[in-house]
Amino acid sequence: FRMSIADFTVRSPARLTLGVFVLAITIFTSLLAAPFSSATGEATPLHDALFTAVSAVCVTGLTTVSTAVHWSFIGQLIMLIAAFMGGLGILTLASIMSLAVSRKLGVRAKLMAQKSMDSSGASALGEVSSLLRIVILTAISLQGLIALFLIPRFYVLGESVLSSIWHGIFYAVSAFNNAGFTPHSDGLVPYETDLWILIPLMGGVFAGSLGFPVIMVLLAHKFNVKKWNLHTKLTMLVTTILLFAGAFLWLVFEWSNPRTLGDMTVGDKVIHALFASTMTRSGGFNLVDQNDIHQVTVLLTDALMFAGGGSASTAGGIKVTTIAVMFLAIMAEVRGDTDVKAFGRQIPQGTMRVAISVVAMGGSLVMVATGALVTIDESVGFSRALFESISAFATVGLSTGVSQEMPPAGKYVLSILMFAGRIGSITLASALTMRHRNSLFKLPEERPLIG
């Protein structure tokens, strides 16, 4: 049985991913729709149950009903388990693929090669399952660590032991998996200057958004940058740039906005800006109402959300390495170089193709969804519809309230978008890794004009 799962995994990871996610969403939708999940004891309508299940499994964090008010403790527990399993599922599936990529050889090809040579036979499978063990153990350890920081704080703030443990675990899982759900009805606003809570949350979201391939390299080599592979270098560099540039711009744009930072001390302004920048690229927690920020900050948020986090992470978006490759491609074009280079390595031409596919697919999905939302209810306006669509596609979870305002049709549109945004990148990556057919013959090349 274990053998056949591994076999299926390596043979058709795209179909496997799709199947696993659809199954999980179906189960969690039924559980959330049941009367025991809601605070009032009444059944939850399908569109809200489905939306919440998709949002949790895809670790998006958008909500159509208040997490704290609508759901019972059981309902919240189901959401948390869904987010935990969703995050773990993404990490394990993505890690299998990244293993295959890092070996520059499909796992399947490797399996077949070893079988035909009739040698050890189980070693590739062993490699996959030991990888899975490492991924799961590391993920659980990191979430436990975040919870250990948070639990005492909630206790100190006057919550009961049980409540502190529950909230500590909830926020730890929600942060590391970049889910962004909050069990408090006011969200994080009451803790907006509480560094004891904000720093573990930011650390958790940041770690989760790097992606497993990077976390493994960091655990192995720490900050010995020379030993990092290209993927780790690019991810860390772009993540750092986006984090600080995003925080700086957010700070400048909102500095004197009376609805957000206007009346705060300089220290609090800086904390808010760093928090906003960290959370925008996928965490989804927020300290200020997204309806209160300036239009230019909305645009900045749109861009950072669309960019997203690291590959094979619980973050969404088009991913920071895609940003890096786009930038490097432009630099190469401007310089007139034949090759795209970074850190003394040449980036394969095929990478450009994946990058353009990811960007074009993401842009199209967001555009069609935005169009659908303003058609369903024109009163939400273009800017808010776009914001919510990017947030759903990039599984961020920041919201101006459109998810709650929308009639059921709009909720289904956003559910599909969250699902497509989450699954799309994984299956595209898998298409890249696993299914490259070699043509039997080469066609003659012909170059169309571009641009």
Determine the Cα–Cα distance for residues 286 and 36; give it in Å rounded to an integer.
29
Confirm or reject binding of residue 225 to its own copies (CB under 8 A).
no
Q: How far is CA 413 from the centre of its chain?
A: 19
CB 67 within 8 A of CB 403: no
2-61 residues near its own copies, rule: CB under 8 A: none
CB 90 within 8 A of CB 59: yes
DSSP 8-class letter at 71: B
Task: Single out the residue of 171, 232, 233 nearest to residue 203, CA to CA.
Answer: 171
Confirm or reject binding of residue 211 to its own copies (CB under 8 A).
yes
Tell me how far, at minimum, the Cβ of 67 lies from K ion, in Å.
13
Segment near its own copies (CB under 8 A), from 156-164, 176-184, 277-285, 432-440?
A: 432-440
339-398 residues near K ion, rule: CB under 5 A: 397
* 367 binds, options K ion, its own copies, none, Cβ within 5 to 8 A by partner type: its own copies
349-378 residues near its own copies, rule: CB under 8 A: 349-361, 363, 367, 370-371, 374-375, 378
Axis crossing angle, helix 123-156 with helix 107-117, rounded to the nearest 10: 140
Task: Single out the residue of 73, 31, 282, 82 nearest to residue 183, CA to CA.
Answer: 73
Determine the Cα–Cα distance for residues 279 and 286; give it in Å rounded to an integer.
7
* 33 binds, options K ion, its own copies, none, Cβ within 5 to 8 A by partner type: none
Which residue from 7, 263, 292, 339 is in contact with its own copies, where contact means CB under 8 A? 339
Axis crossing angle, helix 73-102 with helix 107-117, rounded to the nearest 10: 60
Determine the Cα–Cα distance for residues 205 and 188; give it in Å rounded to an integer.
14
* 61 binds, options K ion, its own copies, none, Cβ within 5 to 8 A by partner type: K ion
Element (H, E) at 183: none
CB 87 within 8 A of CB 139: yes
Tell me how far, at minimum, the Cβ of 314 lies from K ion, in Å.
8
DSSP SS3 for 345:
strand
* 397 binds, options K ion, its own copies, none, Cβ within 5 to 8 A by partner type: K ion
41-100 residues near K ion, rule: CB under 5 A: 61
Tokens standing for residue 429: 């990556």
What track of x and - describes contact with its own copies for positions 240 through 279 (by CB under 8 A)? -------------x--------------------------
Tokens standing for residue 319: 């991913």
120-149 residues near its own copies, rule: CB under 8 A: none
Segment near its own copies (CB under 8 A), from 125-133, 240-248, 270-278, 298-306?
A: 298-306
Confirm or reject binding of residue 204 to K ion (CB under 5 A).
no
Determine the Cα–Cα distance for residues 216 and 181; give it in Å rounded to an integer.
26
Q: Which is nearer to its own copies, 157 or 359 (CB)?
A: 359
Instruction: Please classify residue 439 by burial: count the beta carbons closer than 10 Å to its beta carbon, then call 0-12 exposed, 13-18 middle and 19+ buried.
Output: exposed
What track of x and - describes contact with K ion for positions 277 through 296 (by CB under 5 A)? -------x------------
What track of x and - describes contact with its own copies for positions 373 through 412 (by CB under 8 A)? -xx--x--xxx-xx--------------------------
Which residue from 110, 281, 319, 411 is in contact with its own copies, where contact means CB under 8 A? 319
Interface size with K ion, residues (CB under 5 A):
5
Q: Which residue is nearest to K ion (CB)?
A: 284
Element (H, E) at 208: helix 195-210
157-196 residues near K ion, rule: CB under 5 A: 178, 180
Tell me how far, at minimum, the Cβ of 387 lies from its own copies, in Å.
9
CB 326 within 8 A of CB 359: yes
Tell me how far, at minimum, the Cβ of 306 lies from its own copies, in Å.
9
Segment near its own copies (CB under 8 A), from 192-200, 268-276, 408-416, 422-430?
A: 422-430
* 8 binds, options K ion, its own copies, none, Cβ within 5 to 8 A by partner type: none
Tell me how far, at minimum, the Cβ of 345 lies from its own copies, in Å.
4
CB 377 within 8 A of CB 406: yes
Backbone angles phi, psi at 345, to 5 degrees: -125, 150
CB 421 within 8 A of CB 394: yes
396-435 residues near K ion, rule: CB under 5 A: 397
Residues that bind K ion (CB under 5 A): 61, 178, 180, 284, 397
